[in-house]
Structure 1
Amino acid sequence: MQLLLLLLAAVLVAAEPAAAISTMPMELYFSPGELARIAGYGEEPVSTVVVSGQVACELCLCPGSDLLTFELPGAKVEVACETEGPNTQANSVFTATDEFGNFTFHLPSRLHATPSLENACVVKVLQLPPDSACGLRHRPAASYRIRPSSSLSSSADGFRAYTAGVIRLQHGGTPSGECVQVEDRVDK
């Protein structure tokens, strides 16, 4: 009987360090970089979310004239996402359009898990180049919805693509409805 008690005591003593080790925090075993990698953060992104589009200007010189459309390079554009939390600035990303009026945002990882991204995020044109014929007067701070891009297979290999399409701003003069659309001229 004493041998059995002695054996049981030895097992309990041997089990205590194992139990203590299993409850020790991971910080004792891994470096901060390894912890970040395990959690899915760091240099290697777990997923990629891209929002793209183009900013263009529609110009109608006079009623009955052709509607001219040209790209707007250098326009300041924002993607703003509604998420839970008080810091709305952290939920916005800014860029400028390239020489063809195109923009592409790579959303930060903190926004990747936003549910229904197409409903939570919008694109806004904040500022146009000073020499632009178009203006933001007609729709200041207008929001443009994003939608999943059909040109790329969304969700493949952690890659999701969204587009705002072509954002068409107008010159403040003649309304574009009074101009001859290129499609109208070709069809006749």
Structure 2
Amino acid sequence: MPIALMILFGAILLQRIVELFIAKANQRWALKHGGEEHGKQHYKWFIFVHTLFFISLYIEASLFFGGWRPNAFIGLFIAFTFLQLFRAWCILSLGRYWNTRVIVIPGHELVSKGPYKLIKHPNYWVVLMEFIIIPLLFQAYMTAVIFPILHLLLLKVRIPVEEKALKESYGALQL
């Protein structure tokens, strides 16, 4: 794998690790403020799939990367950059409430600003698109097919758990 690709891979991996530290700090804050976690039993599958994603990406790119295709790379990198800005908007909009887990704090208001004002669960859709775009940047085509499917399967479990937790905490809201 070329050094520039290794740097990009490392930067994406570092970003995810930093996000896990942020999520852990937010988790501690939420639990300290009466937060209740929902869906603990499926969280391990998110960790497993995301870890496997990076392993698959690295192996496939190491074996099959065929060199830079500037036009394709530029377009994909612009899409990737847009996704990172959208991801940051999601995280900043939720602030201390952003987490990789489903934690609801009774008595707190539902966040409905930023992208959450426009669409439901925007961060999950960012991840879905990343599971397509990032592997395409690395010419890891099998990873680009397999992991969006796995993510959608996880969301079939996760979104109902999150919707139920929000409805129980915030009542009959238009979620």
Answer yes or no: same fold by TM over 0.5. no
Higher fraction of helix? 2
Structure with the higher fraction of residues in strand conformation: 1
Please give the range of the TM-score, normalised by the shorter of the 2 chains.
under 0.3
Structure possessing the higher relative contact order (Cα contacts under 8 Å, 6 or more residues apart) = 2
